[in-house]
Amino acid sequence: MGRRNYLLRKLAGSLLTISIVLVINFFLFRVIPGDPAKAGLKDPRVRPEVIEAQRVRFGLDKPVINCFKGQMVFDASLCAANPFDTQLFIYIGNLFKGDLGISYDQKRPVADILRERIGNTVILLLGAELFAIILGSLLGLVAGWKRKTRLDTSALIFSLTAWSLPTFWLGILMFMLGSSVFGLPVNGMRTTGLTYANFGEELADVARHWLLPSLTYAIVLLGQYVIVMRASVLEVLSEDYILTAKAKGLTNFQILKDHALKNAMLPMVTLVLLNLGFTVSGTVELERVFSWPGVGGAIVEAVARKDYPVLQGAFLLVTISVIIANLLVDLVYTYLDPRVKAE
C-alpha cells in the first residue's frame, strides 16, 4: 500500500509538472519580439493582406488569452470575447489531439516533422548509449575494485578527459580523422543520390554514416559513466557487508557480482535514465557537425528561420521526455532500493 501511494504521488507530481510546462511553453514564444506571421514569408516586401491571411491561417488573429493579443498587449475590446476561443485554449485542445501546429517555414504539421526527426536521433544515439553504459559500467567497476593502481589511474584520467571535451570539438576532430584517415562519410545519414539495390545496401550505407557521430557521443558518455560507477563502487566497497563477504571466503568475482554491482548500480540507473530522457533532444552540436537530420538539427534550423511552432513542439518534446525519465527513475528505484518507500 505504501509503495502504491508513493507511485501515485510521483505520477501526480509528474502530471502537474507537465501541465506547468505546457503553459510556460505556450507563453515563451508569445513574448518574443517580432511578428510571427512574417516568419514564414520569404519576401519582406509582401503585401499587408498576405500577412493578414498568414496570421489567420496560423490562428494568430485570435487573442492570446482573454483581453490580450499578440506580444501580450492588453486590448480591452477583446475582453468580451469568448475566453475559450483564444490561442491558449486552442493550443491545449490541439495538444490532446496530437496537433502541435503548422510549421511557418515548411507549411507542414510540426508533429510530422518531429516524428521523422525523432527516429533519426534515436538511431544515432541509442547505440552510443548502450555501448557507453556497458563499457562504462565494467570499466568503472574494475577501476573501483583496483583503486590506487595504474589501471585505476589510467581509467580516471581517460574518463575526466573524455567528460571534459566539448562535444562539438571532439566531433570536429572525429570528422577530420574519419574522413582523411579512414575514408568514412561525414555528412548526412545517407549518400546523396545513391540508389540502393536492396535493404542491406541501405543499412550498410546508414551504418557507415552513423559510425563517427555515434562513436563521438559514446566517448563523451563513457567518461561520465566510468566516473560515476567508480565512485559508487568505492562507496559500496567500504560497507561492512563487503568485509563480511570477504571473511566468508567469497572470491573477488562473487563479491563484485553478488554484492557490489547491484548496490553500485543505483546511481548509474539515475544517470542512464536521465541521459535517455535528454537523448530525445539529441546532441545539437553533434548533429550540426555531421549534418545528421535529427531533432537537434531541427531545433537549429527552426531558430535560424524563426519557425516558432517547430521550436515550441521540440521544447515540449524534450521537457516531457525528461519528466518521464525522472518518473522512470522513481519507479525503478522502488524495486532496486527497498529504502525508497512512502513515509
What are the pLDDT digits (tens) for 157-197? 988 898 888 888 888 888 888 888 888 888 888 887 777 88
* Same domain (yes/no): 153, 293: yes
Which CATH number fits the domain that encloses residue 120?
1.10.3720.10
What are the residues facing 102 on neighbouring strands? 109
* Same domain (yes/no): 174, 263: yes
Tens digits of residue pLDDT in 212-250: 888 888 898 888 899 988 888 888 888 787 788 888 887
- In total, how many domains does the chain have? 2
Which one of 96, 119, 134 terminates a domain?
96
More confident of the two residues 23 and 30: 23
What DSSP character marks residue 197?
S
Which one of 96, 123, 146 terminates a domain?
96
Task: Count how many Cα atoms sit within 13 Å of the Cα of residue 170 in the half-sphere of its side chain.
Answer: 19
- 175: in domain: yes
Grid coordinates belonging to 241: 557487508
- 129: in domain: yes
Q: Which pLDDT value is given to residue 83? A: 66
* Same domain (yes/no): 123, 22: no
More confident of the two residues 260 and 112: 112
Q: Output the CA–CA distances (angstroms, integers) from residue 80 to 27, 70, 91, 114, in the order listed.
A: 22, 17, 20, 37
- 307: in domain: yes
Query: In degrees to the nearest 10, what's the CA dihedral of 199, 201, 202, 207?
Result: 120
Which one of 44, 63, 96 terminates a domain?
96
* Same domain (yes/no): 264, 170: yes
* Same domain (yes/no): 74, 26: yes
* Same domain (yes/no): 123, 79: no
- 186: in domain: yes
What are the residues facing 44 on neighbouring strands? none
Tens digits of residue pLDDT in 331-341: 777 776 666 55
- 343: in domain: no
Enclosing domain of residue 19? 2-96
More confident of the two residues 56 and 312: 312
CB 341 within 8 A of CB 7: no
- 289: in domain: yes
Measured distance CA(278)–CA(284) in Å, rounded: 11
* Same domain (yes/no): 114, 207: yes
More confident of the two residues 126 and 74: 126
CB atoms within 10 A of CB 127: 17
Q: Which pLDDT value is given to residue 338? A: 63
* Same domain (yes/no): 68, 204: no
User: Across the chain, which distance is largest between two alpha carbons, in Å?
Assistant: 86
More confident of the two residues 146 and 73: 146
Q: How confident is the model at residue 199 (pLDDT cuts 50, 70, 90)?
A: confident
Q: Which pLDDT value is given to residue 130? A: 87
Q: Output the CA–CA distances (angstroms, integers) from residue 1 to 12, 47, 306, 330, in the order listed.
A: 16, 65, 50, 16
* Same domain (yes/no): 265, 132: yes
* Same domain (yes/no): 278, 318: yes
Mean pLDDT of the region 125-145: 86
Task: Decide: helix, strand or coil at residue 335.
Answer: helix
* Same domain (yes/no): 53, 166: no
Q: Which pLDDT value is given to residue 27? A: 81
* Same domain (yes/no): 85, 168: no
- 20: in domain: yes
- 275: in domain: yes
